Structure 1
Amino acid sequence: MFRYVPLAALMIAAAPATAQQGDLAAVQRHLQGVTTMTAAFSQTDRTGKVLTGTLTWKQPGNIRFQYEKGVPLLIVAEGGALTFIDYSVRQVQRWPIRNSPLGVLLDPKRDITRFAKLVPGGADDRIVSVAARDPQHPEYGTITLVFVRNAAAPAGLMLQGWVALDSQNNRTTIRLSNQRFGVPVAANAFKWNDPRRSTARN
C-alpha cells in the first residue's frame, strides 16, 4: 500500500537521474500492456471546479469518462475520434484522437520516446512523471502522465493521473483511484446517445 501523495507533488517528484534509465521504456511497456482498466476519477479544471466519475479504458483507442449523476457531460474516445457531449445544451464536439493530449494513452503503438521525456524532480524514486507533446503540432497541447511504481501493475507502473494543458494553457488535472486492470468491458461501453437526434441522456 502506497501512502497518499498530492498530485502537485507527484508532478514535480521524479526518480533521480541514476534511477531514470529505462523508465521511459517502462511507460511504453505499461501503455502496451494495458488491455482494459477501470478507475474512479476526479477532474479539476483551471477554475478549481471538481467533478468526479468513472473511467473505462480499453486498448487500443477507447476511453469513457462517465461523470457523476447530475452532470450532463460525457467524454468518449472510439473509432479514432474523441467526442465531448454536453447534454444540457445538446452539443457534440469531435476531433481526431491524435490531436488530443489523450492520444498518448490511446495509441500504444506510438514510440513515445519521439515526443515524450521524463520530468526531472525530487528524490522520491517511486514516482515516474512523463511529459508528452508533439513538437510539430503545439496546438494539440501537452500532457504529463504521473505513475507510481507498483509491481502488481503492467510494467510495474500504476497510472495515478495526468495534467493536460491545451493550446490556450488551460489546465485540467485528473487523479485516479481504485485502478483495476484486465476487467471485462462490454462491447457497447463506448457507445453514446447523440442529443442532436434524441432527448435521451447518457
Structure 2
Amino acid sequence: MKLFRIALPAVLSAAVFAASALPAAAEKLSMAEISTYLNAIKSAQTRFVQVNADGSQSTGTVFIKRPGRARFEYDPPVDALVMAGGQQVAIFDPKSNAGPTQYPLRRTPLNLILARRIDLSQARMVVGHGEEDGMTTITAQDPKNPEYGTIRLFFSHEPVTLRQWIITDGAGDQTKVILGDFDRDVELGSAMFSIPTETRKRLGE
C-alpha cells in the first residue's frame, strides 16, 4: 500500500469541502504571507476527501500537530491509518497482521508543511507560484531531494486558508486531498502520533 494512495471506489460529494472561489483578478498571496500562515498552525484537525491516482475516492479526518506530526484516519470501509511521527511515516493496513509500512518523513513532500520552521522563500524550495480558480498555488519540493516528489498547495484568501494539496510522487502519480474548515489549536495527545504505540495496540501487545 503506497503512501496516500489508499483506494476505494465511492460516490462522494466534495461540494462541502470546496474552496470559495475569489474573483479571477484577485492578487495572489506572497510566499511570506503563506509561510506566516503555515507557521501559525500548531495543531489542527479537519475532514478531508482524498482523490487517488486511479480516480477512486475516500474520506476521513486529518489531525496535524507541528512540527513533524500528522494522523490521517480513513472512514469505513477503508479503516486505514497513515501516521507521521518520530521522523517516520507509517501506513497501517487493517487487512495486515504485520506491522506498518514505514518511510522516512523527509522522503515525502508532506515534510515541507510539517517542518518546524517553514520558509517558502528558501532557495530552490518553491518551483511554482501562481493562481488558479481564484486561489493562490504554491508548488514546493525538498531542494536537496527533488526526486522525492512535489506538493502543490492551494490557498484561499481573506482569510488565508489551506484548502487542498496535490502530492506528485517520484513516479509521477498524483493524489489530491481536499480539506474542510480547520479547527485550530485543538488538544491532541502525543500518543496519537506514536508509531510504536499504535503498532503495539494493533498487534494486541
Change (3 A) 1:196 1:64: closer
Q: Decide whether the 8 Å contact of 2:18 with 2:180 is kept in 1.
A: no
State the Cα distance separating 1:45 from its structure 2 match. Answer: 0.6
State the Cα distance separating 1:98 from its structure 2 match. Answer: 1.6
State the Cα distance separating 1:196 from its structure 2 match. Answer: 10
Alignment partners' CA distance in 2, 1:65 and 1:143: 17
2:53 pairs with 1:50: no
Match of 1:186 in 2: 189
| Greater Cα shift, 77-86 or 128-137 | 128-137
Change (3 A) 1:195 1:43: farther
Match of 1:63 in 2: 70
Match of 1:98 in 2: 106
Structure 2: state its 5+ residue gaps: 1-14
2:114 pairs with 1:111: no
Q: Decide whether the 8 Å contact of 2:86 with 2:194 is kept in 1.
A: no
Q: Kindly provide the CA deviation profile for residues 43-82 of structure 1, in whole angstroms up to 9, marking residues without a partner as x.
A: 1111111010001001111100000023142110111111
Residue 34 of structure 2: SS of its match in structure 1?
A: helix
Alignment partners' CA distance in 2, 1:61 and 1:19: 31
Change (3 A) 1:109 1:147: same
State the Cα distance separating 1:169 from its structure 2 match. Answer: 0.5
Match of 1:120 in 2: 130
Which amino acid in the other structure matches residue 129 of structure 2? V
2:137 pairs with 1:132: no
TM-score where L is the length of structure 1: 0.79
Alignment partners' CA distance in 1, 2:84 and 2:177: 16
Among 22, 33, 37, which residue is 1:26 paired with? 33
Q: Kindly provide the CA deviation profile for residues 12-55 of structure 1, in whole angstroms up to 9, marking residues without a partner as x.
A: x9976x934x6111111112101111000111111111010001
Change (3 A) 1:194 1:28: same
Match of 1:75 in 2: 82
Q: Kindly provide the CA deviation profile for residues 126-181 of structure 1, in whole angstroms up to 9, marking residues without a partner as x.
A: x2110001344222100001111133xxxxx1110100000100100000013111
Q: Decide whether the 8 Å contact of 1:14 with 1:121 is kept in 2.
A: no
State the Cα distance separating 1:6 from its structure 2 match. Answer: 5.6
Alignment partners' CA distance in 2, 1:15 and 1:108: 33
Q: Decide whether the 8 Å contact of 2:73 with 2:82 is kept in 1.
A: yes
Among 29, 38, 46, which residue is 1:39 paired with? 46
Change (3 A) 1:15 1:116: farther
Residue 178 of structure 1: SS of its match in structure 2?
A: coil
Q: Decide whether the 8 Å contact of 2:16 with 2:180 is kept in 1.
A: no
Alignment partners' CA distance in 1, 2:86 and 2:42: 17
Match of 1:154 in 2: none
